[in-house]
Structure 1
Amino acid sequence: MSIPSFYLEPANFQVDFEDIRHVREAVFVIEQQIPPDIEFDELDQYCHHFIVRDANYLAVGTGRLSPEGKIGRMAVLQQWRNQGIGRSLLLALLEKARGLGLTTAFANAQIGALGFYEKFGFIQEGDTFDEAGIPHRTMRLQLEPLAQIPRAAPRPRETSVDAARIDTLESALSATLLLISQARRQLYIYSRDLEYALYGQNELVEALKQFALRDRNGGVQILLQDPANVRNQQHPLIDLAQRLPSYFLIRTPEQAEDLQYLSAFVANDVDGYLFRLLGDRYEGHWSPNSPARNRQLCEEFERVWQRARPCTEFRALGL
């Protein structure tokens, strides 16, 4: 049977509850006959959740990590099993545990799943016990701490810099690279189709990669007006976003007023910006430090972002 690609992302239990419930009810309540009042407990709201979706944005798998490092509620819809989803979920949960500074992770695993956990280094602990009428055993894994990435000390805010004109691809690229290098945790990109001549440059893609990996709490938000045009080409920035989905979020405007917006811009979180009046041209202006103009662009970005839809066209990762 040919199964389409899937992708994994962190979930918000309140926002994604219906999708999480759909998977867990199908697996635990219907398939394994576990009572719903046992399956959904008070711990859910305090856990870190992950969800796996297919190419149509439908939930097909989920799992959670408690604050003390307990992995649980690992569930994959029956027709999606043996496709690597369980492996992807477990690796994501373990990475989250390491990121939280935990030194061990453990799970109360059903007897039939012991071999799955052992493949990842988990060791059986204690005796077999009954949970919800199903035999379980505790599995425990010692976690290696994440390598510490040196962080530069925050730079003091500099005096506002008057905007400078740009009128060529080279000047736009140079300014964009500087904005990326100066950003601390967040970058905002508003573009019609991620102009390949600019955003397809290897130097720029590598700069975005290094920025994303520099801080696990940071990321790049992209508003993309015309995903269909990008989908028809091999775009290195989209490839990067697919490899690092936790750091690159892409949304597509849907309202007419947003789709008619002709300009393009980049803004960072240290008051820098680059603005081009027409997204398919390179004439515009930029400044490494212009708080008023940066705030104006960031507020416009946030307004559109809140009413835009997730751009699922590029999120099928096949993990």
Structure 2
Amino acid sequence: MPPAQFHVEPIPYDTGLAELRAVREPVFVAEQGVPLELEWDELDPDCHHVIARDADGHPVGTGRLTPEHRIGRMAVLPDWRGKGVGDALLRALLDEARKLGWREVTLHAQVTAINFYARHGFLPYGARYDEAGIEHQSMRLLLDHANAVETRDQALAALIGVVTGTRRQLDIYSRDLDPGLLDHPDLITALRQLATRRGEIRILVQDPTTPQRAHSALLSLAQRLPSAFQFRAVEEPGDQAYAPAYAASDAGGWYFRTLGHRFDGETRLDDRARARQLQATFDPVWERARPCSEFRALGI
């Protein structure tokens, strides 16, 4: 089946209100139960709006940038979900923010959409909260700069962004497969999707015994998809003393932690030079490391 045809472009609020209403009211008011008086606010006339239209020119998705440098009102009609419209809307809004010279953008994500925004480099911050009767999470993104990672939730979002953006090859350097992070269900889902689209995932580990003892979900996934995963254990004293941990992809995404036993670090999804540097660091260690025969005993 050919991909759905649509295009995204800016739309003025004053002349485009009817088209914006044709998407936002069915999604937010009728579907999600947001009161009409809350859906339209005093910021709307001053926002930068984008709209997605199908091949016949009918509106199918919307989004906006507020004067507070916040992305919002991201909505896609039900028949158009899962066809790339949301991704295209978000990219258009980020491009507009760059044209405006903004350094950072934020958003209030519905909790069910956190991983969608993580795929584009957004990291969560603060506690979750109720907005119009729906649970939300604040997220932010520094444009064209590395983003600081401080918490486990941010670390998870960073890795989801790196993994989902990988084209073919993903390299991970870890002390012990990071229990609570590399075996998180959302990350396992992202890794499974990469593996099933013929991705190649190389993982260097300093301590292979810990994930075995913990019955790591990542090892279970690799057992089911052995052609996609390779594991090696570092044994050279210098490699064993290496403190950082990182993930780097062939699409320019990376997440680097100076101390591998902590979540603190930095991430960016569009920095090919840094990603290549990390992969160049990874390759010689990979060649020196030994295949994890103890994992093969598990069928890997």
- Provide TM-score, normalisation by structure 2: 0.51
Q: 1:103-122 residue pairs with structure 2 within 5 A?
A: none
Corresponding residue number in structure 1 for 2:80: none
User: Are 2:197 and 1:214 aligned?
Assistant: yes
Letter in 1 for 2:171: Y
Structure 1 distance, partners of 2:299, 2:194, is 24
For residues 288 and 316 of structure 1, do their structure 2 counterparts lie closer, same or farther at Cα, with a shift above 3 Å needed? same
**Paired letter, 2:173:** Y
Does the 8 Å contact 1:161/1:288 carry over to 2?
no
Partner SS, residue 226 of structure 1: coil
Q: 2:266 aligns with which of 276, 279, 285?
A: 285
Q: Secondary structure at the match of 1:189?
A: strand
Letter in 1 for 2:248: A
Instruction: State which of 229, 234, 237 in structure 1 corresponds to 2:210.
Output: 229
Q: Partners in 1 of 2:298 and 2:209 — Cα distance?
A: 18
Which AA in structure 2 matches 1:175?
Answer: A
Correspondence 1:174 to 2:157: yes
Aligned length: 163
Unaligned runs of 5+ in 1: 1-151
Q: Considering only aligned residues, what root-mean-square deviation do their CA atoms show, in Å?
A: 2.3
Partner of 2:296: 315
Q: Deviations over 1:7-46 (max 9, x none)?
A: xxxxxxxxxxxxxxxxxxxxxxxxxxxxxxxxxxxxxxxx
Task: Indicate conservation of the 8 Å contact 1:188/1:301, yes or no.
Answer: yes
Match of 1:270, SS? Answer: coil
Greater RCO (Cα-Cα under 8 Å, separation 6 or more): 1
SS at match of 2:180: helix
Identity of aligned residues (%): 43
1:77-92 → structure 2 map (5 Å cutoff) = none
Alignment partner of 2:202: what SS? strand
Give me the whole-angstrom Cα distance separating, in 1, the residues matched to 2:187 and 2:207. 21
**Mapped partners of 1:315, 1:223: distance in 2:** 15
Other-structure match for 2:221: 240
Distance, in Å, in 1 between the alignment partners of 2:190 and 2:145 is: 25
Q: 2:184 aligns with which of 173, 185, 201?
A: 201
- Are the equivalent residues in 1 in contact too, given 2:163–2:191 (CA < 8 A)? yes
- Pair 318,308 (structure 1): closer, same or farther in 2 beyond 3 Å: closer
Q: Give 1:197 shift.
A: 1.2
Q: 1:196 and 1:255 mapped to 2: Cα distance? A: 24
Runs of 4+ off more than 2 Å: 158-161, 316-319
Amino acid at match of 2:221: L
- 1:111-190 pair list within 5 angstroms: 161-190=144-173
Displacement of 1:178 in angstroms is: 1.1
For residues 144 and 223 of structure 2, the distance between their equivalents in structure 1, rounded to whole angstroms, comes to 35
Unpaired runs of 5+ residues, structure 2, are 1-83, 89-94, 99-142
Asked if 2 retains the 8 angstrom alpha-carbon contact of 1:183 and 1:270, the reply is: yes
Q: Tell me how far 1:318 sits from its aligned partner.
A: 5.4
Rounded to whole Å, the distance in 2 between the matches of 1:175 and 1:229 is 23
Shift of 1:317: 4.3
Matches of 2:273 and 2:299 in 1, distance apart? Answer: 42
